[in-house]
């Protein structure tokens, strides 16, 4: 029997797409099941934990909270005050004013009675020049340090924080996030109880839209009133409760969200701190820290805490959301490209064999596959090669799967943290899950694609130039040698 | 009509389509089941909450009443209260709520009130409930039982709990250690002599928290375990020596400084830094030069010298460290010299740029807001 | 004599209320968080405030500061806290607290301290 070229061609493409679809489905199912198991265990264990014992103990590691601020004049005072009411014994707050053009710095100087101090800063990690370091004259604000520096972007500001900090652990946060008062107590626990050294611990980020906030503190959790934010609530619950928990169990977590993560400072510094040439600096640092540990053959762990500890305002318009997703896509691509040597590299264990390929195939490649699949389908439809019954059946199956995963994540939330308590909320979330695959998901795919194309296009026109503006600034700390 | 029956439809489709359709139906049914589960769980949750709240309200008033009673009061009042409580704990649920409430109250009080609560626990035979939990198959229940007995100081359970010390489940092991330390009043640390497991910082925190409530004079001399074969017991005992200021162990700690295991040496340095008196200044100054290669240990000893050193005798041991390759060590040296009799006089011999760098450190360490 | 107790722990406030009422030391009001504490302090006069440090919305230290600096009152304040850390205790006294009691505490002792503070007024 002879096959024509086209028959073989269609057969190959169809099989590839089918294989991709089946493997992504299986991957998500496995992750969801693992996450659920791990989440249960976490919650049962914490039932026995009196976090207040950490609060008063002299045996806890010191933590520096590092929060970069750029043009935050309107809210900075509230934000800093809310950071000061965090429950932890040995911690300090380092606010980095990243060359704001507004009155961010002056407002802080006035509100907290700051004076410039002769801090002998070492540029262990090269950063833009620091213009001054401020401390409060009021002992009540002893925990606060404010650093004023020339603008250099988020990664650069965080690196200044790493240079200023003298504590064992650093928590890198977005200054406009609302951090729960017990966040540090919960985040630090993995560092205390693990027999393997923990190098980083990530926290959950939840959506704060429509929640009631007073004086920078979350008073009541509410489901967002606008649909676009509800899509993101569903997305975040799915990603955090059904994805990262499993990666943490496997010790294969690659991304700790930039909004809230806790790191071992010495290792972050030894790796050279945040990379300011990528917009995915949060993921890049975790990958680099892991690579560092592998290269030195040190045992280590990257953990993750499922408690909702950090709340952030989600983009409320498709335009801003599009920009955010575009940036995420670029970040993912840049990190994957930078560390491409990990791809199925057995030297890096699970990270090389599972985590990296997962990110490559199912996070980065997915929008391309989906989009080209759509084009392929349209072409076939035009030349009349579609088995419509089969098409509808498979579409229905995929839709049912998407809905099932969403329901599973809602189930997971319901049996764990149960934050959305109103009866109407559950109906709204089911509605959101029903329309998400048709209305929201295509946009996410499109933004992801666009991010990748922007990056490829941008590389040629302005990629290298922007780097020239960055002045390498290193104080001569080789003075004594 | 037959065109619309299910069997006709199924026959009409190819096998693949049927598979896909059945997958879809299964997934949708599962989704609906999940939704139903969520809704039902909400009902159950609110029912339980209401029931619990009802019990709690009832118990609380009585428990608070009992807890504020003074010693040697007529027992009539408490008998009445006990009968009232007894009426409501026929269900396992009620018993659990009462145990939780008793523990909760007892955590916050000491003295007569705490004794009163313990008396209620015993009189209502709730310890039997807790002891039964130790035999459960579920580790959560087991751990909960251990916790309850420990919180209530029910020391008759020591033997049963000791058997759980080597349980495969981490939480059970942790709970057992803590419980044993709480319960065995006279020599709390017997079990540690041949303890093989790990004492994580988390357990240390909890043990320390409990030891704080005891009379410091009754604590064992932790230096007994400085050379234990289990490394985590060693570091635990060094930390406790420091936190409870067992000054008589300083000579032993000095020996540990030259330990090959540098993490242990560092902990010893930490302890010395907190406790060493002036009589140790000279031996420490002499050890200092041996620690050159271990930045963290040098820093600790430098801090010690800052508080116990004599400027005329010891400065000369410190000054070489002004040229140490590590910045933090240099900074600690400057800090120590500033405490003794100033750094300026020691840096004239250095090159000009080094002098400038050290002057910046002097400004840093002398600023009131930076300390 | 009017006494205000602020603590987010139901058991703690109720026991103290029970005890103080039993000893007939005064009329006791109770709030469960820092926000309500500030609100009630605005409206009413108290002869003594007993407050926990860690509460929702606003800490006991902040309440002390609020009474001393914003309301400019010299009401005696007893701070009650599970963390007996030197730093916290010092901060409490710096802000103008009258007394500090660490948890777990003895109800009898608390009652005696309250009695002494109220009679010295």
Mutate to test the interface with C, among B102, B108, B245 (most CBs of C within 10 A): B108
CB neighbour list of residue B135: distance below 8 Å, 6 or more residues apart = none
Query: A415 preceded by cis ω (within 30°)?
Result: no
pLDDT in the model for residue A470: 29
Interface of C with A in 37-66 (CB under 8 A): 54, 56-59, 62, 65
pLDDT band per the 50, 70, 90 thresholds, residue B74: low
User: What pairing do the DSSP bridges indicate for beta strands A260-264 and A169-173?
Assistant: antiparallel
In chain B, what residues touch A194 (CB-CB under 8 Å)?
200
CB neighbour list of residue A168: distance below 8 Å, 6 or more residues apart = A61, A62, A63, A264, A265, A266
Q: Is residue C42 in a domain? A: yes
User: How close does chain C come to A186, measured CA to CA in Å?
Assistant: 16
- Thinking of the domain A1-481, which architecture would CATH place it in? Alpha-Beta Complex (3.90)
pLDDT band per the 50, 70, 90 thresholds, residue B8: low
How do residues A201-218 score in pLDDT, each as one tens digit?
998 899 998 888 877 778
Closest CA to A150 of A475, A473, A477: A473
pLDDT in the model for residue A134: 96
In chain B, what residues touch C109 (CB-CB under 8 Å)?
111
Q: For residue A401, what is the nearest residue in chain B, using CA coordinates? A: B27
Q: Please indicate whether, in this complex, the C-beta atoms of B24 and A415 are within 8 angstroms of each other.
A: no
Q: Is residue C17 in a domain? A: yes
Q: Is residue C22 in a domain? A: yes
**pLDDT above 50 for B218:** yes
Per-residue pLDDT of chain A (481 residues; tens, 9 = 90+): 567 888 888 888 888 988 999 999 999 999 999 999 999 999 988 887 888 888 878 899 999 999 999 998 888 998 898 898 888 888 999 999 999 999 999 999 999 999 999 999 999 999 999 999 999 998 778 899 999 999 999 999 999 999 999 999 999 998 888 999 889 999 999 999 888 899 999 988 999 988 888 777 788 899 999 999 999 999 999 988 888 889 999 999 999 988 899 999 999 999 999 998 888 899 999 999 999 999 999 999 999 999 989 999 899 999 999 999 999 999 999 999 999 999 999 999 999 999 999 999 999 999 999 999 999 999 989 988 888 888 899 899 999 999 999 999 999 998 888 888 888 888 999 999 999 999 999 999 999 999 999 988 875 433 333 332 222 322 223 223 2
Q: For residue C103, what is the nearest residue in chain B, using CA coordinates? A: B108
The Cβ-side half-sphere exposure at B49, using a 13 Å CA radius, reads 6
Q: Which of B60, B70, B107 sits opposite C104 (nearest CB)?
A: B107
Which of the 8 DSSP states describes residue A61?
Answer: P
How do residues B183-197 score in pLDDT, each as one tens digit?
877 666 777 888 888
In whole angstroms, what is the distance from residue B302 CA to residue A283 CA?
38
How do residues C46-75 score in pLDDT, each as one tens digit?
999 999 888 877 788 888 988 988 888 889
In whole angstroms, what is the distance from residue A89 CA to residue A86 CA?
9
**pLDDT above 80 for B358:** yes
Q: Is residue C108 in a domain? A: yes
A63 CB neighbour count, 10 Å cutoff: 25
In whole angstroms, what is the distance from residue C88 CA to residue C49 CA?
18
Mutate to test the interface with C, among B68, B72, B98 (most CBs of C within 10 A): B68
CB neighbour list of residue A39: distance below 8 Å, 6 or more residues apart = A241, A245, A306, A412, A416
Q: Which of B34, B140, B202 sits opposite A193 (nearest CB)?
A: B202
Q: Please indicate whether, in this complex, the C-beta atoms of C57 and A139 are within 8 angstroms of each other.
A: no
**pLDDT above 90 for B14:** no
User: How close does chain A come to B75, measured CA to CA in Å?
Assistant: 35
pLDDT in the model for residue A361: 94
Q: Please indicate whether, in this complex, the C-beta atoms of A181 and C83 are within 8 angstroms of each other.
A: no
Q: Please indicate whether, in this complex, the C-beta atoms of C57 and A215 are within 8 angstroms of each other.
A: yes
Q: Is residue C119 in a domain? A: no
In chain B, what residues touch A47 (CB-CB under 8 Å)?
140, 144
Q: Is residue C48 in a domain? A: yes
Interface of B with A in 142-201 (CB under 8 A): 143-144, 147, 171, 175, 198, 200-201
Tally of domains in chain C: 1
How do residues B249-268 score in pLDDT, each as one tens digit?
999 999 999 888 999 999 99
In angstroms, the Cα distances linking C106 to B67, B108, B115, B211, C55 are 10, 9, 11, 18, 21
User: Residue C19 belongs to a domain with what CATH number?
Assistant: 3.40.50.2300
In angstroms, the Cα distances linking B204 to A59, A300, A312, B300 are 8, 21, 35, 22
Closest CA to A433 of A392, A404, A393, A395: A404
> For chain C, which ranges sit under pLDDT 50?
none
Indicate if ipTM > 0.85: yes
For the segment B125-138, the average pLDDT, to the nearest whole number, is 88
Where in the sequence is the domain holding C19, given as residue range(s)? Answer: 2-113
User: What pairing do the DSSP bridges indicate for beta strands A114-117 and A130-136?
Assistant: antiparallel
Calculate what percentage of chain B has a pLDDT beyond 70.
Answer: 94
In chain A, what residues touch B328 (CB-CB under 8 Å)?
166
**pLDDT above 60 for B150:** yes
**pLDDT above 80 for B87:** no
Closest CA to A238 of A406, A433, A23: A406
Q: Which of C15, C18, C104 sits opposite B110 (nearest CB)?
A: C104
Which residues are paired to C105 by β-bridges?
B109
Q: Please indicate whether, in this complex, the C-beta atoms of A480 and B330 are within 8 angstroms of each other.
A: yes
Q: Please indicate whether, in this complex, the C-beta atoms of A219 and C62 are within 8 angstroms of each other.
A: no
Interface check for B109 against chain C (CB to CB < 8 A): the answer is yes
Higher-confidence position of B89 and B193: B193
Q: Please indicate whether, in this complex, the C-beta atoms of C85 and A89 are within 8 angstroms of each other.
A: yes
In angstroms, the Cα distances linking A225 to A409, B17, B63 are 20, 40, 44
Sign of the torsion formed by the C-alpha atoms of B208, B214, B217 and B221: negative
Calculate what percentage of chain B has a pLDDT beyond 90.
Answer: 30
pLDDT in the model for residue A474: 29
Which residues are paired to A201 by β-bridges?
A262, A303
Reported pTM: 0.88
Label residue A278 exposed, middle or buried (CB < 10 Å: 0-12, 13-18, 19+): buried
In whole angstroms, what is the distance from residue A281 CA to residue A260 CA?
13
Chains A & C: contacts with CB separation below 8 Å:
33
Chains A & B: contacts with CB separation below 8 Å:
137
**pLDDT above 60 for B237:** yes
pLDDT in the model for residue A479: 29
């Amino acid at each position: 029997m002879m096959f024509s070229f086209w028959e073989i061609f269609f057969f190959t493409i169809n099989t590839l797409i089918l294989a991709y679809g089946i493997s992504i489905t299986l991957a998500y199912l496995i992750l969801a099941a693992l996450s659920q198991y791990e989440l249960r265990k976490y919650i049962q264990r914490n039932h026995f934990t009196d976090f207040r014992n950490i609060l008063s103990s002299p045996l806890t590691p010191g933590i520096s909270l590092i929060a970069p601020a750029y043009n935050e004049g309107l809210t900075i005072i509230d934000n800093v005050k809310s950071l000061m009411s965090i429950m932890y014994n040995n911690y300090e707050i380092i606010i980095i004013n990243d060359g704001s053009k507004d009155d961010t710095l002056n407002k802080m100087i006035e509100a907290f009675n700051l004076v410039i101090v002769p801090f002998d800063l070492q540029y262990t990690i090269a950063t833009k020049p620091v213009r001054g370091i401020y401390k409060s004259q009021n002992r009540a604000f002893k925990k606060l340090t404010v650093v004023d520096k020339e603008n250099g972007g988020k990664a650069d500001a965080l690196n200044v924080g790493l240079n200023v900090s003298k504590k064992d652990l650093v928590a890198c946060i977005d200054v406009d996030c609302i951090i729960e008062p017990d966040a540090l107590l919960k985040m630090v626990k993995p560092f205390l109880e693990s027999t393997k050294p923990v190098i980083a611990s990530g926290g959950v980020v939840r959506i704060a839209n429509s929640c009631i906030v007073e004086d920078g503190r979350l008073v009541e959790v509410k489901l967002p009133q606008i649909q676009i934010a509800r899509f993101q609530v569903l997305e975040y619950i799915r990603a955090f409760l059904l994805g990262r928990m499993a990666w943490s169990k496997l010790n294969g977590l690659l991304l700790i969200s930039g909004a809230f993560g806790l790191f071992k400072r010495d290792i972050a510094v030894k790796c050279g701190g945040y990379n300011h040439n990528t917009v995915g600096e949060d993921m890049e640092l975790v990958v680099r820290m892991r690579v560092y540990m592998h290269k030195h053959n040190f045992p280590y762990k990257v953990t993750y805490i499922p408690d909702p500890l950090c709340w952030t305002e989600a983009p409320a318009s498709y335009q801003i959301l599009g920009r955010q997703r575009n940036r995420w896509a670029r970040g993912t691509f840049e990190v994957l490209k930078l560390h491409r040597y990990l791809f199925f590299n057995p030297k890096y264990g699970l990270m090389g064999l599972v985590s990296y390929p997962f990110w490559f195939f199912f996070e980065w490649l997915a929008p391309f596959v989906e989009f080209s699949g759509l084009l392929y389908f349209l072409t076939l439809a035009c030349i009349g090669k579609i088995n419509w019954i089969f098409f509808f059946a498979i579409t229905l199956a995929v839709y049912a799967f998407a809905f099932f995963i969403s329901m599973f994540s809602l189930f997971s939330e319901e049996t764990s943290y149960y934050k959305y308590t109103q009866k109407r909320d559950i109906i709204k979330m089911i509605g959101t899950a029903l329309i998400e695959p048709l209305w929201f998901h295509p946009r996410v795919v499109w933004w992801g694609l666009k991010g990748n194309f922007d990056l490829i296009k941008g590389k040629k026109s302005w990629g290298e130039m922007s780097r020239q503006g960055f002045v390498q600034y290193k104080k001569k700390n080789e003075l004594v040698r | 009509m037959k065109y619309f029956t299910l069997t006709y439809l199924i026959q009409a489709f190819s096998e693949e389509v049927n598979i896909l359709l059945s997958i879809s139906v299964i997934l949708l049914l599962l989704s609906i089941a999940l939704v139903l589960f969520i809704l039902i769980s909400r009902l159950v949750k609110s029912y339980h909450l209401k029931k619990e709240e009802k019990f709690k309200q009832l118990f609380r008033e009585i428990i608070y009443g009992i807890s504020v009673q003074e010693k040697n009061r007529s027992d009539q009042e408490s008998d009445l209260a006990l009968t009232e409580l007894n009426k409501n704990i026929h269900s396992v649920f009620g018993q659990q709520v009462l145990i939780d409430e008793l523990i909760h109250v007892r955590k916050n009080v000491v003295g007569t009130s705490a004794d009163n609560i313990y008396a209620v626990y015993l009189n209502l035979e709730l310890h039997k409930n807790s002891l039964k939990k130790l035999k459960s198959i579920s580790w959560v229940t087991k751990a909960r039982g251990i916790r309850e007995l420990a919180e209530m100081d029910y020391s008759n359970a020591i033997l049963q709990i000791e058997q759980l010390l080597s349980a495969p489940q981490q939480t059970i092991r942790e709970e057992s250690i803590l419980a044993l330390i709480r319960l065995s009043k006279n020599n709390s640390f017997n079990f540690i002599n041949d303890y093989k497991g790990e004492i994580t910082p988390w357990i240390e925190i909890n043990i320390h928290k409990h030891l704080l409530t005891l009379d410091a004079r009754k604590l064992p001399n932790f230096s007994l375990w400085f050379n234990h074969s289990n490394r985590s017991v060693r570091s635990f005992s060094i930390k406790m020596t420091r936190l409870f200021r067992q000054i008589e162990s300083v000579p032993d700690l000095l020996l540990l400084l030259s330990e090959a295991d540098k993490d242990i040496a560092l902990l010893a340095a930490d302890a010395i830094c907190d406790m060493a008196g002036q009589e140790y200044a000279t031996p420490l100054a002499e050890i200092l030069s041996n620690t050159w290669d271990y930045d963290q240990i040098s820093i600790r000893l430098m801090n010690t010298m800052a508080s116990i050193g004599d400027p005329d005798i010891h400065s000369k041991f410190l000054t070489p460290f002004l040229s140490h390759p590590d910045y933090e060590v240099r900074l600690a040296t400057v800090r120590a010299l500033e405490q003794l009799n100033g750094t300026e006089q020691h840096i004239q011999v250095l090159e000009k740029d080094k002098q400038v760098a050290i002057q910046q450190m002097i400004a840093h360490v002398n600023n009131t807001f930076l300390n | 004599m009017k006494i205000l107790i602020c603590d987010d722990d139901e058991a703690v406030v109720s026991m103290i209320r029970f005890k103080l009422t039993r000893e007939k030391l005064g009329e006791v009001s109770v709030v469960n968080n820092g926000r309500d504490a500030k609100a009630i302090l605005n409206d009413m006069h108290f002869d003594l405030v007993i407050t926990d440090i860690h509460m929702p919305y606003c800490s006991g230290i902040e309440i002390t500061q609020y009474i001393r600096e914003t309301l400019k009152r010299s009401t005696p304040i007893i701070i009650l806290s599970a963390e007996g850390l030197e730093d916290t205790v010092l901060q409490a006294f710096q802000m103008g607290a009258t007394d500090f009691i660490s948890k777990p505490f003895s109800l009898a002792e608390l009652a005696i301290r309250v009695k002494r503070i109220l009679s010295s007024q």
